[in-house]
Amino acid sequence: MRRRREVHGPGPHHRPRPHAVPPIRDRLVLRGQRRRGRGHPVHIPRRRPRRPVHRHLDLRRRDRGRPELRRRRPLAVRQPERGPGAAGAGTDRLAGVPRPVLPARRAPGGDPRRRPAGAGPDVPPRFRPRGGGRMRRSDDGRHLSTEFVINDQAAGYPRRTVETTATPEELDGLVGSGYLVLRGVLDRETAGALAEAVLRLAESEADRPEAESLPGDSIYIRSLLDKDPVFHPLLRFEPPLSIARTLLGPQVWIDLEARLNHAGRPGVSVPWHAHLPVIPDPVPALFSHPHQIHCLLYLDHITEREGALCLIPGSHSRGDLRIPLGDQSDRPGQVELYFEPGDAVLIHANLWHRTVPSKADAGYRRLLLLGFVPSWVRSDVGRGVAAERPLTVELARSGDAETRELLGEFQW
């Protein structure tokens, strides 16, 4: 049996304190002590703190100390901040799809904390492949090569390598500003042959009731790949194809259309518009942004007589920008572009743009629109004059796997 430890008085060598201290039995009970019986304080060891109820009761007792088996709270996902030049030809070799670079989600007026002082629209991060993709320069230093691993389990996670002569700075410009100018990507002879083909189709469809035209002013022609084989080489038109594959992923399909403004017609123009006006406000958490790259390939001289192409840089990521239907007024920060035959400009499909009204001495304004679309996004507009004998059916039947993919064939 444990004996009580009694507290005795001072020893023979005890020095009195300056102030008299009452005997311990007359003092308040000290921490860890309590009074017993005849007033003799007894030392009581401090009580062990109460163990909290274990949060991992679903584990066996012997496993509760193993942190790797504990149920952890999900980590808070931090939303990333989302916010021209010339390029040559590129190549593509069949070899994942990187996560798309999303435009910034901005409240009306923008969030000044996301922009450096004096900056315009949200500045995107520097372009780089994400996930398992790798980007590097080729041995000769002329090509930018990106290796993608496609997350297709059934196909064994195939690889594709995309090479383009566009520089990282040019890709940054296209992602951030929404456009990239390409000078002289077609020679004059090829541009002239395509311009004549567009004019022939415009004349043949002008009187059709389903034609999309303003008689005598302009006409819009769809499904060019089904109507004339002269357009088939544009399926592998470089460098737009490799740029689109680098930014959208290696799996894309191509839609080809044309627009023609007749010569000598003043006041012909297209008001402010964007090609994919489908983004809601506010943006839903799982909304799929309609990323597409459209190549405007000019086949004629575009001067002040024909009217400049006006762009609003960065407007593809501005959900708060709303322009009234039919508006043709100048906008702050707009850029005016002029072109020679064979020049092109790549734009994000949601970039706001318009054309300046033509003058009485304007020439033809003929251009092709190549739409580069991710392969899993399909749409049939159901407008315009349909081809009597679709040429793409035979082209797909006799083409290789890449040709069929560029024509829109895709399987999950």
**Residue the block writes with tokens 């895709």:** 410
Residue 159, strand partner residues? 149
Residue 125: per-residue pLDDT: 44
Residue 60 lies in a domain: no
Residue 302's nearest CA partner among 251, 250, 342 is 342
Residue 72 lies in a domain: no
Residue 92 clears pLDDT 80, i.e. is over it: no
Residue 320 lies in a domain: yes
Residue 120: per-residue pLDDT: 41
Residue 106: per-residue pLDDT: 36
Residue 88 lies in a domain: no
Residue 22 clears pLDDT 70, i.e. is over it: no
pLDDT band per the 50, 70, 90 thresholds, residue 139: low
Peptide bond into 67 cis (omega under 30): no
Q: Can you tell me the distance from the alpha carbon of 202 to that of 227, in angstroms, rounded to the nearest whole number? A: 12
Whole-model pTM: value is: 0.64
Residue 9 lies in a domain: no
**Total domains, the chain:** 1
Residue 274 lies in a domain: yes
Residue 175: per-residue pLDDT: 95
Domain span including residue 233:
174-406
pLDDT band per the 50, 70, 90 thresholds, residue 195: very high
For the chain, give the percent of residues with pLDDT over 70.
64
Averaging pLDDT over each range in 70-79, 113-122, 330-339, which range is the top one?
Answer: 330-339
Residue 78 clears pLDDT 50, i.e. is over it: no
Q: How far is CA 18 from CA 11, 15, 151, 161, in A?
A: 17, 9, 84, 90
Mean pLDDT computed over every residue of the chain? 77
Residue 314 lies in a domain: yes
Return the CATH number at 265: 2.60.120.620
Residue 254 clears pLDDT 80, i.e. is over it: yes
Q: Can you tell me the distance from the alpha carbon of 195 to that of 199, in angstroms, rounded to the nearest whole number? A: 6
Q: Which residues of 130-169 are buried (b: 16+ CB within 10 A; e: fewer)?
A: eeebebeeeeeeebbbbbbbbeeeeeeeebbebbbbbeee
Residue 120 lies in a domain: no
Tokens of 120: 């315009």
Q: Can you tell me the distance from the alpha carbon of 149 to that of 132, in angstroms, rounded to the nearest whole number? A: 6
